[in-house]
Chain A
Amino acid sequence: MSLTTFARNTGYAFGENRLTLVAAIILALLTLCAIFGPSIAPYDPLLTSATTKLARPSLLHPFGTDALGRDILSRVIVATRLDLGMAVSAVVLSFVVGLALGSLAGYFGGWTDRIIGRAMDTIMAFPLFVLAMGIVVALGNSVANIIIATMIINLPFYCRFARAEVNVRRELGYVEAARMGGNGPLRVLLNHIVPNILPPMMVQASLNMGWAILNAAGLSFIGLGVRPPTPEWGIMVSEGASYIISGEWWAFMFPGAALVLAVFSFNMLGDGLRDLLDPRKRV
Chain B
Amino acid sequence: MAFVWKRLLGTIPSLVGVVVLTFFISRALPGDPAAFFAGPAANAASIASIRATLGLDRPLPVQFVSYIADLAHGNLGRSLTTGQPVLTDLLERLPASLELSSFALLFAIGIAIPMGVWAATRINGGVDHACRAVVTVSAAFPTFFVGLLFVYVFYFLLGWAPQPLGRLDEIAFSPPPRVTGAYTIDAAIAGDWPVLRASLAQLILPAISLGLFALAPIARITRAAMLEALSSDFIRTARASGLPVRKILMAYAFRNVLLPVSSVLGMVFSFLIGSNVLIEQVFGWQGVGAYAVAAVIASDYAAVQGFVLMMAVLYVLLNLLVDVFATLVDPRVRFEG
Contacts and interface: CB of A to CB of B under 8 A. Distances in A.
B14 A122 contact: yes
Interface string A237-275: 110010011010100110010011001100100000000
Interface string B285-314: 000000011001101010011011001100
Contact of A259 (B20, B142, B293, B308): B142
B29 A139 contact: yes
B31 A139 contact: yes
A224 interface: yes
Given A118-B13, A138-B31, A260 B151 contact: no
Contacts of A123: 21
Given A122-B18, A126-B311, A245-B163, A217 B142 contact: yes
Given A139-B30, A222-B281, A237-B148, A129 B274 contact: yes
A138 B25 contact: yes
Contacts of B148: 237, 241, 244, 252, 256
A277 interface: no
**Interface extent on A, as a size class?**
35 or more
B273 A256 contact: no
A133 B13 contact: no
A202 B281 CA distance: 35
Interface in A103-155: 118, 121-123, 125-131, 133-135, 137-141
A135 B142 contact: no
Interface in A192-245: 210, 214, 217-218, 221-224, 234, 237-238, 241, 244-245
Contacts of A241: 148, 282
A134 B308 contact: yes
B301 A137 contact: yes
A129 B307 contact: no
Contacts, number: 149
B22 interface: yes
B143 to A, nearest CB: 7
A217 B142 CA distance: 8
Given A122-B21, A134-B22, A134-B304, A224 B296 contact: yes
B321 to A, nearest CB: 15
B17 A134 contact: no
B277 A267 contact: no
Given A127-B315, A130-B308, A247-B156, A218 B293 contact: no
- Interface centre among A245, A247, A263, by most chain B C-beta atoms within 10 angstroms, is A245
A264 B311 CA distance: 29
A125 B269 CA distance: 11
A241 to B, nearest CB: 6
Interface residues of B, number: 53
Contacts of A126: 18, 21, 270, 308, 311-312, 315
Interface string A178-203: 00000000000000000000000000
A253 B136 CA distance: 19
A125 B278 contact: no
Interface string B37-55: 0000000000000000000
A118 B20 CA distance: 12
A126 B156 CA distance: 37
A129 B139 contact: no
B156 A218 contact: no
B64 interface: no
Interface in B250-283: 269-271, 273-275, 277-278, 281-282
A264 B140 CA distance: 5
A165 B319 CA distance: 27
B152 to A, nearest CB: 5
Contact of A267 (B20, B139, B164, B271): B139
Contact of B142 (A133, A214, A247): A214
B209 to A, nearest CB: 13
Contacts of A137: 31, 296, 299, 301, 304-305
10 contacts: A123-B21, A126-B18, A126-B21, A135-B25, A139-B29, A218-B278, A221-B281, A244-B148, A244-B152, A249-B152
